[in-house]
Amino acid sequence: MIIETLSTFPAMYDSVMGTSMMRIAQEQGALDFRAFDLRDWTHDRHRTTDDSPYGGGQGLVMKCEPIFEAFDEIVAAREMKPYTVFLTPTGEAFTQAVAQELSEKPRLLFVCGHYEGIDERAYTLADRCLSLGDYVLTSGELASMVVIDAVVRLLPGVLGDEGSAIDESFYDGLLEYPQYTRPAEFRGMEVPPILCSGDHAKVATWRRQQSLKRTAHLRSDLLAQANLSEADRAFLKSLSTEAGSSSETVS
């Protein structure tokens, strides 16, 4: 996969893309990454990428001219046209499902905003606009790093254990089940005996039920879109019944 970024602070990617999984993905040839400096497409001695907003107001707005010029040149540099993503608070919410979709694109280009925003005309270049959530970050570089990480870990061979991504939170719309490792007992806290039983079928059932229970308790909103079997629905119904019985006992 080819991933490219266009921003005013490309050096921000150095540490993230040069360590851990990102470094390994590039060494393995699964990822071809490059960060472009938007200032390379400016034409004044100050390399200006922003200006005051029309109509007045606080802050500065990123100019559209260097973005368009950079986009045209970056696109023309390879035969394959990139799927272009803008990071913006007005974009659609980024989810695991979106990460999966992006991981299937052969070439991605992330355009990162800064200051008070980007000239609206630049968004005509976008195939998709994404937001990490209902909060404000200093720059789009930070948001793009999160998206890139979520995408790259889904590429074949990057995680090593092909089942790792499948077992993680949100893969099937649920939160992940509790995880444990040695020692089996620590400060009076014991690992659930079933995990030490060696019965893989029972372990799988326990993990699924714990995932359902955790999701119902912490993120019940996810259940509406989750991939649920009849057994899952029956288990969730039993949780509701237990909760109802408990509240009656307390009252």
Residue stretches of the annotated binding site for S-adenosyl-L-methionine: 113, 132-137
Distance from CA of residue 198 to its chain's centroid? Answer: 34
172 residue type, one letter: D
Residue 24's CB: how many other CB atoms inside 10 A? 16
State the angle between helix axes of 200-218 and 230-250 in degrees (0 to 180), rounded to the nearest 10. Answer: 60
Both tokens assigned to 166: 């499948």
Cα within 13 Å of Cα(249), Cβ side: 6
Cα within 13 Å of Cα(13), Cβ side: 27
- Is 74 in contact with 109 (CB distance < 8 Å)? yes
Give the H or E element holding residue 57. Answer: none
Residue 201's CB: how many other CB atoms inside 10 A? 7
| Residue numbering of the annotated binding site | 113, 132-137
- Is 136 in contact with 112 (CB distance < 8 Å)? no
- Nearest alpha-carbon partner for 53 in 64, 61, 45: 61
